[in-house]
Amino acid sequence: MNQVETKKLTSEVKELILSKEKDMIAFRRHLHKHPELSLEEIETTKALAEKLDEFGISYRLTEPTGIIAEIKGAGPGKTVLLRADMDALSVQQLNDVSYRSIEEGKMHACGHDTHVSMLLNAAYALNQVKDQFNGTVRLIFQPAEEIATGAKLMVEQGAVDGVDNAFGIHIWSGGKTGEVSCPAGPSFAAADVIRVYFTGRGGHAAQPHLNIDAAIMASQYVINAQSIVSREVDPLQPAVVTLGKMEVGTRFNVVAENAVIEGTIRTFDPETRDKVEASLKHYAQEIAQLYGGQAVVEYDRMTEPVNNEEHTAQLVQKVAAEAFGEESVENLPPTMGGEDFGYYMTKIPGAFATVGSGNAEKDTFWAHHSGRFNVDEDSLKVGAELYAQYALAYLAQDAF
């Protein structure tokens, strides 16, 4: 494909995206009004399937929810994967909008309703021009990102089989509307979960010398665990240890026999991850031994780090600059937030971009997972086009 043909195709895709902008926003608002939690996205899956049927795009349903769809071009070529997640959160919506969630205690507080809406619009555009490119675009409408199991479920059901490259997008309230960020290297951290169970010996509070206090063990653990980051981890390697929940004892005048601590660990570097896990387990055993109690540690590695492959990230930046202007491309710093898109990239190279949706005038700068979270819907056409133009640019390369 020569430059003239490429320019004509990208222009046609932009027009197709814009022609469906109102429908895309309406679909997003429908999903926002009817949120479904992880692995419960039954109606969301049905709504997406109906749209794909309308567009004439072939797909298969995954279990228990989700969709894998494909658009085959005019001739053979590589396969690029575009992914959008679709689950909501157990968050009560606090802002008053016309499309406010009607499900008590459930809300699209992270923007996944926008992700599937943007990818659906991109799918429409790509399907309209499929006779003008070679290769295959695989569309992943993924459940259960919020519980860090969806990507793994999709991979187990063949999502990356035969795929050469993966690309995903997250709407981002911390960025200005339309701002695209996709720096090479670490982007989102690995997110792990720890549970520590301390067991002592309960008894009367007036006779502490006859008992083993689980509350003391748990308290010492919470305090001392922070020294792992400050004294055992390379200061040039970011790490976060947050012990956010502790349940201890049964009543005010009983020495606690049991204590349970739950927390999360965030890292980018594999060696740092290993070090923090080992030290957290070691500290629990040493503290339990010191006080004469027992400790059991459960450590779950939930998501892999999102580490943008250099050539893929550079292509995303190039596509964004050409589509929206050089001024739209930013290199935002990595976040210690987790994203299970990293699991796809343990199998194939890829990159994960953010598309800014923050607008003070529209009150859309609220943090993700906030009950007041919302997006500037002007950002949706940017995300939709970025999906589509990236797929075309990747497939058009002679070599990657």
- What digits encode the pLDDT tens for the residues 22-44? 999 999 999 999 999 999 999 99
Cα–Cα nearest to 200, from 262, 118, 268, 259: 259
Cα–Cα nearest to 170, from 160, 180, 155: 180
Per-residue confidence (pLDDT) for residue 400, from 0 to 100 = 43
Q: How far apart are CA 18 and CA 15, in angstroms?
A: 5
* 94: pLDDT strictly greater than 90: yes
The domains found in the chain, sorted by start residue, are: 3-184+309-396 (3.40.630.10), 189-303 (3.30.70.360)
- Give CA torsion, residues 360, 37, 186, 77, to 10 deg: -110
Hey, which bits of 32-153 come out as E strands?
58-61, 67-72, 75-85, 134-142
Q: How far is CA 394 from CA 11, 133, 142, 246, in A?
A: 17, 11, 22, 48
Q: How far apart are CA 135 and CA 397, in angstroms?
A: 11
Would the annotation count 112 as a binding residue?
A: yes
Rg (CA), the chain: 24
Q: CB count, 10 Å around CB of 311?
A: 14
Average pLDDT of the residues in 48-67: 98
Average pLDDT of the residues in 291-306: 97
**Helical H runs in 146-264?**
150-156, 214-227
pLDDT in tens, 166-191: 999 999 999 999 999 999 999 999 99
Q: How far is CA 317 from CA 101, 322, 342, 354, in A?
A: 35, 9, 19, 11
Average pLDDT of the residues in 333-362: 96
Per-residue confidence (pLDDT) for residue 396, from 0 to 100 = 94
Q: How far apart are CA 46 and CA 64, in angstroms?
A: 12
What is the pTM for the complete model shown? 0.93
Cα–Cα nearest to 267, from 151, 168, 186: 186
Q: How far apart are CA 61 and CA 39, in angstroms?
A: 13
Please report which confidence band the pLDDT of residue 4 belongs to, taking 50, 70 and 90 as the band edges. confident
Chain-wide mean pLDDT for the chain? 96
Average pLDDT of the residues in 50-75: 98
Per-residue confidence (pLDDT) for residue 399, from 0 to 100 = 41
Please report which confidence band the pLDDT of residue 1 belongs to, taking 50, 70 and 90 as the band edges. low
Q: How far apart are CA 129 and CA 120, in angstroms?
A: 15
Q: How far apart are CA 51 and CA 31, in angstroms?
A: 13
Cα–Cα nearest to 200, from 110, 135, 134, 295: 295
Q: How far apart are CA 397 and CA 400, in angstroms?
A: 7
Q: How far apart are CA 124 and CA 136, in angstroms?
A: 14
Percentage of residues in the chain having pLDDT higher than 70: 99
* 277: pLDDT strictly greater than 90: yes
- The contacts of residue 178 (CB under 8 Å, 6+ apart) are 324, 328, 355, 356, 378, 379, 382
Would the annotation count 146 as a binding residue?
A: yes
Q: How far apart are CA 294 and CA 245, in angstroms?
A: 19
pLDDT in tens, 184-220: 999 999 999 999 999 999 999 999 999 999 999 999 9
Sign of CA dihedral 6, 118, 165, 339: positive
Q: How far is CA 385 from CA 70, 144, 180, 314, 324, in A?
A: 18, 25, 12, 17, 10
Q: How far apart are CA 140 and CA 340, in angstroms?
A: 13
Please report which confidence band the pLDDT of residue 398 belongs to, taking 50, 70 and 90 as the band edges. low
Would the annotation count 182 as a binding residue?
A: no
